[in-house]
Amino acid sequence: MLEKRLLIFAVIGGDIRQAKLAELLASQGHEVRVFALDRYAFTPVIKPYSLAKEACRGVNCVVMPMPLTREQGMLNAPLSGESHDLSDLFSAVEPGTITLAGVIKEDALSLAKARNIRLIDYFLREELAISNAAITVEGAIQIAMEEMPITINQSKCLVIGNGRIGKMLAEKLRALGAKTWVMARKPADLAQIRIAGHKPLTIATLERELEQFQMIFNTAPALILGRTQLRRINSKALVIDVASRPGGLDWAAAQELGVRTKHALSLPGKVAPVTSAEIILETINFILEEEGV
Amino acid sequence: MLEKRLLIFAVIGGDIRQAKLAELLASQGHEVRVFALDRYAFTPVIKPYSLAKEACRGVNCVVMPMPLTREQGMLNAPLSGESHDLSDLFSAVEPGTITLAGVIKEDALSLAKARNIRLIDYFLREELAISNAAITVEGAIQIAMEEMPITINQSKCLVIGNGRIGKMLAEKLRALGAKTWVMARKPADLAQIRIAGHKPLTIATLERELEQFQMIFNTAPALILGRTQLRRINSKALVIDVASRPGGLDWAAAQELGVRTKHALSLPGKVAPVTSAEIILETINFILEEEGV
Amino acid sequence: MLEKRLLIFAVIGGDIRQAKLAELLASQGHEVRVFALDRYAFTPVIKPYSLAKEACRGVNCVVMPMPLTREQGMLNAPLSGESHDLSDLFSAVEPGTITLAGVIKEDALSLAKARNIRLIDYFLREELAISNAAITVEGAIQIAMEEMPITINQSKCLVIGNGRIGKMLAEKLRALGAKTWVMARKPADLAQIRIAGHKPLTIATLERELEQFQMIFNTAPALILGRTQLRRINSKALVIDVASRPGGLDWAAAQELGVRTKHALSLPGKVAPVTSAEIILETINFILEEEGV
Amino acid sequence: MLEKRLLIFAVIGGDIRQAKLAELLASQGHEVRVFALDRYAFTPVIKPYSLAKEACRGVNCVVMPMPLTREQGMLNAPLSGESHDLSDLFSAVEPGTITLAGVIKEDALSLAKARNIRLIDYFLREELAISNAAITVEGAIQIAMEEMPITINQSKCLVIGNGRIGKMLAEKLRALGAKTWVMARKPADLAQIRIAGHKPLTIATLERELEQFQMIFNTAPALILGRTQLRRINSKALVIDVASRPGGLDWAAAQELGVRTKHALSLPGKVAPVTSAEIILETINFILEEEGV
């Protein structure tokens, strides 16, 4: 078990979830150094550094954020007052150091390889994806509760997509008393939706049912709600899209038609940063164990 | 059925829920006049009045808010720029007019009787209480989601009280994936709690279990969480009290001890004004039918 | 706590549940004597008696069955080869002895009083009633599964009555994937049914909906399904009546019309005798503690 | 849609589910001929044949059972008084005829190919597998209810395997009030189990927890419960194995050690033949539509 050996971590960039992760690591007894997290007030046991090179010197593991980058080539660091070039950061990491991040793009991977950094994407781990989906589901429900002047109980909800998030979301909405419809394409999904007690919809039957829904949740990474569909949505309904950009609807048409929408991105870090940090920590522990750190 | 006959309503005072109620009445075709709701922008079909006497002239029914009064003798009218004396308002109502309000105090009832007003408390109707409880439950969950940096899923939640709200709340929390404890006094309640799949706690066993809970919901109209108990609560936990004033905890001690608390009063009107207005409307319809209006 | 003191019990009459109760008492270290349970093979530690008087001599507590009697004046003793007159049995109990039974009729109470026996009805304890209801619910579901060639999942189920059993039954059926309707009379019940996510029916709307149901569960102690209603029931449907005699339907008409029915009486002792015995034991312990035995 | 065209079906062999399927086809207006189903009393509209060749002459589709064969080379026909050689049956089918069956072995496929029969395995369709899993789950629960003298409510249940059946079974058991543990191997499954609110077990932790379980359901097609594990199982517990032969336990050891076991094979046809027939019919309709029949 990792817990038995105390390590030195450099935690770099990221949002409040990354800050919480630093605190969790410290609470387990590890030495934790932080960089590019200047706007967060850490407990004294965590040491902020102003130079990446010093933060990374002699550490056992560097933890970078999820996602690693926002714009091209720049570190995702909303809690930092400055911009940080990923290339510079990688120069600060000592060759061979295990470096973890979530959602790493191709160019970052090449860059890391060129500098001989062992860069590992923890977002590719299925156990993280499952736990993350559960947080996303709860976040989507929170948004629906906040935005709507009606209760989820007794409301008519449509979930688009029957993947990991779609399945869980439909189940939780029903548990809260909603009447639930789920849209999918594959016959096997439609059978599963029916067996699970929701009403199945296909692309063909979606349009004629759309008007009755008060809350519509898109979880599918495909454009399902085009102009034709958006036109059928009730003016008091809310569309919450949890699919990553560009999401599942024609945003321009939605605005033009006055459809109420909410693109809910990166929910885990926003609605439950501590739970998010905990599941990242768990995954990091698994990886370090496997890598023999 | 009431819907067949179009009536004239004066809707007076109250919060956004009362405004939504006015809109629902208007959407059913009734003539709706509003008074003491000046900060709400109504659709043109609803007529705002600046004098109560004129608003009430010749109406079939006057609808006052829930609760009727805030401070002693004054109308509950948060959307009005002015204060309104209940006694003056009752003078404006024509003798014999059916006047509905929710949560009416003794002195208001006497006042109405003296002026020959048929004042009826719709909050005493059990069907309203049940629907209201369901909204309160969802509101409490929304607050927990907003305030906590962890998910309800996998969290440890304590519900104090096994009444209407307590039962529903424990059930919904568990449906969202929480581990649930419920505290009650009566053996029959403890049996019901266990049968329903929650862990039962008594006053005697409460104290030694308190430390583990991350969210504590009080639904009981009694002081359960005194200084001794509050001392055992985890510093990261949140106590949400949905019981009406004074609520179920020693607020002074809580503040002194740094316990995070939230007194969540009048949730239905705040978190789901439209659903609230709908259930009041339903109850008003029942009453008017029974009263032969 | 009772457990600390070992007592002598006479366990008399009853079905397999009563036999299991005797075993549970013995497993707690008490001395257990049995009478009128001859067809059950007890472990050697439990002593069968052939005379009630000897079985009851010097015991701390006599435990009689639930219900106490079947026909007028005779002990309910399906596991005995003989008939036992209640009056004779009471003569065998030493005056002043605590004697427990479930569902005691007026005449038995008078008889006990005349003989100076402290006869207490444990079925009147609400905690027992709640636990018993949960077993009845599971038993009704088991019968439905056994009798029907379709699954409960996806089936259309009607529950008549929204009392303790009705509420739990509707909830469990839905949890198993049924589509659920609940019939009740009171507006407050109808509101609760809707809030809980079932479709409410009144006596007025029952008749026109009856044809669609595949399983109908009566929990109400009133004749709801008369000849007119029975005529509307689908020929493949099953009516399970868990209300005690005479139950909630016109049995003669049902037979005549060929409606499939099942009068499911005393389910707890039949479908889960061990769980039943456990909850009776728990209740007996509470009573003995209160009575200072 | 298939329903618009009336076809001629030969329904051959199989259990009661196959007989119900014949009835469903007839109730849709198709001409239905049956063979090797002699012990079932069909309505007059269905014609029994004593020669396979005549039953199959000129039909649009032959429906054989699921599974197709029991012993090597012989038709699965428990409702027939005689044995039927598969090779003879295939000779009776006219070349080119669509022939449907469920769970077809390699040698049967070769045989069909040699005779130019279009043999299609409907059990390979995922929508059937999903619906079938739901019936199996309900059947396993029915067996647990029938066999155990305790309720599922409040019981401690272990589900081995987190596949389609395992996931659904754990969910339904919990919905009925059981405390649920699920054993799996993969980290992603363990995360999913925890997220879904069950207690996860691995092979490593299984052994030390085994003693507490009252009901153990095996859904995994692997030997998990060997002699060492079986030794730890409580003597009052029941092991229900729904995995196909050889199942997930060492049967010889179980018998020797006196572990109560139940190998629950082919549950759908036994516990819910009508629902089973309905889902087969649905799948057959899909196939015939795709095949252009």
D137 vs chain C: nearest CA distance in angstroms? 10
Confidence band of C290 (pLDDT split at 50, 70, 90): confident
pLDDT of residue D233 exceeding 70, the answer is: yes
Interface of B with C in 190-249 (CB under 8 A): 190-192, 195
**Is the preceding omega at residue C67 within 30 degrees of 0, hence cis?**
yes
- Nearest Cα neighbor of B48 from B64, B28, B29, B32 is B32
Kindly report, residue by residue over A215-243, the tens digit of the pLDDT: 999 999 999 999 999 999 999 999 999 99
Segment B149-158 mean pLDDT: 97
**Contacts of residue C177 in chain A, CB cutoff 8 Å?**
195-197
CB contact under 8 A, D130 and A191: yes
Q: What is the ipTM of this complex?
A: 0.91
What percent of chain D stands above pLDDT 90?
90
Confidence band of A55 (pLDDT split at 50, 70, 90): very high
Q: Which residue of A has its CA nearest to C191?
A: A154
B180 vs chain D: nearest CA distance in angstroms? 12
Q: Which residue of D has its CA nearest to A191?
A: D127
Name the residue facing B191 among C130, C191, C192 (closest C-beta).
Answer: C130
Contacts of C227 (CB under 8 A, 6+ apart): C250, C253, C257
Name the residue facing B145 among A148, A175, A271 (closest C-beta).
Answer: A271
Name the residue facing D188 among A130, A134, A187 (closest C-beta).
Answer: A130
Segment B240-256 mean pLDDT: 93
Name the residue facing A146 among B135, B142, B177 (closest C-beta).
Answer: B142
B205 vs chain C: nearest CA distance in angstroms? 16
Across D24-61, b (16+ Cβ under 10 Å) vs e yields: bbbeeebbbbbbbbeebebeeebeebeebeebbeebbb
Name the residue facing D195 among A130, A188, A195 (closest C-beta).
Answer: A130
Segment A33-51 mean pLDDT: 96
**Contacts of residue B154 in chain D, CB cutoff 8 Å?**
194-195
Write the single-letter amino acid at B110.
S
Kindly report, residue by residue over C185-200, the tens digit of the pLDDT: 998 999 999 999 999 9
Across D187-209, b (16+ Cβ under 10 Å) vs e yields: bbbbbbbbbbbbebbeeeebeee
**Contacts of residue A153 in chain C, CB cutoff 8 Å?**
195
Whole-number pLDDT of residue C167: 97
- Nearest Cα neighbor of D128 from D172, D66, D86 is D66
**Contacts of residue C135 in chain D, CB cutoff 8 Å?**
151, 153
**Contacts of residue A149 in chain B, CB cutoff 8 Å?**
20, 272-275
SS3 call for C120: strand
Cβ distance C89 to C52 under 8 Å? yes
Here the tokens at position B60 are 């079939």
B276 vs chain C: nearest CA distance in angstroms? 13
- Nearest Cα neighbor of C200 from C165, C153, C167 is C167
Kindly report, residue by residue over A128-179, the tens digit of the pLDDT: 999 999 999 999 999 999 999 999 999 999 999 999 999 999 999 999 999 9
Average per-residue pLDDT for chain B: 94
Segment A73-95 mean pLDDT: 94
Identify the residue among C153, C155, C156, C199 best suited for mutation to test binding to A, counting A beta carbons within 10 A and taking the highest. Answer: C153
Rounded Cα gap, residues B140 and A145, in angstroms: 11
Q: What is the 3-state secondary structure of chain D?
A: CHHHCCCEEEEECCCHHHHHHHHHHHHCCCEEEEECCCCCCCCCCCEECCCHHHHHCCCCEEECCCCCECCCCEECCCCCCCCCEHHHHHHHCCCCCEEEECCCCHHHHHHHHHCCCEEEEHHHCHHHHHHHHHHHHHHHHHHHHHHCCCCCCCCEEEEECCCHHHHHHHHHHHHCCCEEEEECCCHHHHHHHHHCCCEEECHHHHHHHHHHCCEEEECCCCCCECHHHHHHCCCCCEEEECCCCCCCECHHHHHHHCCEEEECCCHHHHHCHHHHHHHHHHHHHHHHHHHCC
Whole-number pLDDT of residue D236: 95
CB contact under 8 A, B172 and A172: no
Cβ distance B40 to B92 under 8 Å? no
pLDDT of residue D4 exceeding 70, the answer is: no
Kindly report, residue by residue over D71-101, the tens digit of the pLDDT: 888 999 999 999 999 999 999 999 999 999 9
Interface of C with D in 269-288 (CB under 8 A): 271-275
Rounded Cα gap, residues C240 and C217, in angstroms: 5
Whole-number pLDDT of residue A1: 39
D176 shares contact with chain C (CB less than 8 Å):
yes
Name the residue facing A191 among D127, D187, D188 (closest C-beta).
Answer: D127
pLDDT of residue A39 exceeding 90, the answer is: yes
CB contact under 8 A, D177 and B194: no
Identify the residue among B153, B155, B176, B193 best suited for mutation to test binding to D, counting D beta carbons within 10 A and taking the highest. Answer: B153
Name the residue facing B197 among D177, D194, D195 (closest C-beta).
Answer: D177
Q: How many helices (H) and strands (E) does chain A have?
A: 12, 12
Segment A265-272 mean pLDDT: 91
Q: Which residue of B has its CA nearest to C188?
A: B127
pLDDT of residue B152 exceeding 80, the answer is: yes
Name the residue facing D130 among A128, A195, A286 (closest C-beta).
Answer: A195
Confidence band of B236 (pLDDT split at 50, 70, 90): very high
pLDDT of residue B231 exceeding 70, the answer is: yes
pLDDT of residue D2 exceeding 70, the answer is: no
Confidence band of C2 (pLDDT split at 50, 70, 90): very low
Burial level of C57, CB count in 10 A (0-12/13-18/19+)? Answer: middle
Q: Which chains touch A (3 or more CB pairs under 8 A)?
A: B, C, D
Cβ distance B152 to B173 under 8 Å? yes
CA atoms within 13 A on the CB side of B185: 4
Could you give the residue ranges of the DSSP H alpha helices within A94-246? 106-114, 126-147, 164-175, 187-195, 203-209, 227-232
- Given its phi and psi angles, is residue C218 left (phi above 0), alpha (psi -120 to 50 degrees) or beta? beta
Rounded Cα gap, residues B215 and B154, in angstroms: 11
Cβ distance C250 to C230 under 8 Å? yes
From residue C287, how far is each of B210, C15, C122 by CA, in Å? Answer: 30, 22, 8
Rounded Cα gap, residues C258 and C256, in angstroms: 5
Sheet containing B260-263: give its strands across.
Answer: B199-201, B179-183, B156-160, B215-218, B238-241, B260-263
Whole-number pLDDT of residue D46: 97
Between chain A and chain B, how many beta carbons pairs sit less than 8 Å apart? 66
CB contact under 8 A, B134 and A145: no
Interface of D with B in 125-154 (CB under 8 A): 153-154
Confidence band of B3 (pLDDT split at 50, 70, 90): very low
- Read off the pTM: 0.92
Kindly report, residue by residue over C99-122, the tens digit of the pLDDT: 999 999 999 999 999 999 999 999
Q: Which residue of B has its CA nearest to D178?
A: B197
Q: Which residue of B has its CA nearest to C192?
A: B130
The helix (run of H) or strand (run of E) holding residue C107 is: helix C106-114
Q: Which residues partner with C156 through β-bridges? A: C179
Cβ distance D38 to D80 under 8 Å? yes
User: Which CB contacts under 8 angstroms, 24+ apart, belong to C167-170?
Assistant: C167/C192, C167/C196, C168/C133, C168/C134, C168/C137, C169/C137, C169/C140, C169/C141, C169/C217, C169/C219, C170/C196, C170/C198
Rounded Cα gap, residues D91 and D57, in angstroms: 11
Across A108-135, b (16+ Cβ under 10 Å) vs e yields: beebbeebebbbbbbbebebbbbbbbbb
- C-alpha dihedral sign at C109, C111, C114, C120: negative
pLDDT of residue A40 exceeding 60, the answer is: yes
Contacts of B8 (CB under 8 A, 6+ apart): B30, B31, B32, B33, B58, B59, B60, B61
Whole-number pLDDT of residue B245: 81
Confidence band of C4 (pLDDT split at 50, 70, 90): low
**Contacts of residue D141 in chain C, CB cutoff 8 Å?**
145
Name the residue facing A151 among B20, B135, B148 (closest C-beta).
Answer: B135
Interface of B with A in 94-123 (CB under 8 A): none
Q: Which residue of D has its CA nearest to A134?
A: D195
Cβ distance A61 to A100 under 8 Å? yes
SS3 call for B21: helix
SS3 call for A29: coil
**Contacts of residue A196 in chain C, CB cutoff 8 Å?**
177
Segment D154-175 mean pLDDT: 97
pLDDT of residue D48 exceeding 70, the answer is: yes
Cβ distance A267 to A287 under 8 Å? no
The position carrying tokens 């009453």 is B287
- Given its phi and psi angles, is residue A240 left (phi above 0), alpha (psi -120 to 50 degrees) or beta? beta
Cβ distance D60 to D293 under 8 Å? yes
- CA B214 to chain CA centroid, Å, is 25
Confidence band of D181 (pLDDT split at 50, 70, 90): very high
D213 vs chain C: nearest CA distance in angstroms? 15
B39 vs chain A: nearest CA distance in angstroms? 18
From residue A179, how far is each of A157, A168, B131 by CA, in Å? Answer: 6, 15, 17
Name the residue facing B172 among A20, A146, A176 (closest C-beta).
Answer: A176
Confidence band of D31 (pLDDT split at 50, 70, 90): very high
D171 vs chain A: nearest CA distance in angstroms? 11
Burial level of A292, CB count in 10 A (0-12/13-18/19+)? Answer: exposed
Q: Which chains touch B (3 or more CB pairs under 8 A)?
A: A, C, D
Kindly report, residue by residue over B26-50, the tens digit of the pLDDT: 999 999 999 999 999 999 999 999 9
**Contacts of residue C154 in chain D, CB cutoff 8 Å?**
275
Rounded Cα gap, residues D200 and D184, in angstroms: 7
B20 shares contact with chain A (CB less than 8 Å):
yes
Whole-number pLDDT of residue D178: 98
Contacts of C114 (CB under 8 A, 6+ apart): none
Whole-number pLDDT of residue B246: 85
Whole-number pLDDT of residue A288: 92
- Nearest Cα neighbor of B131 from B243, B279, B271 is B279
A195 vs chain C: nearest CA distance in angstroms? 7
Q: Which chains touch D (3 or more CB pairs under 8 A)?
A: A, B, C
Residue A94 DSSP one-character state: P
Whole-number pLDDT of residue A179: 97
Confidence band of B4 (pLDDT split at 50, 70, 90): low
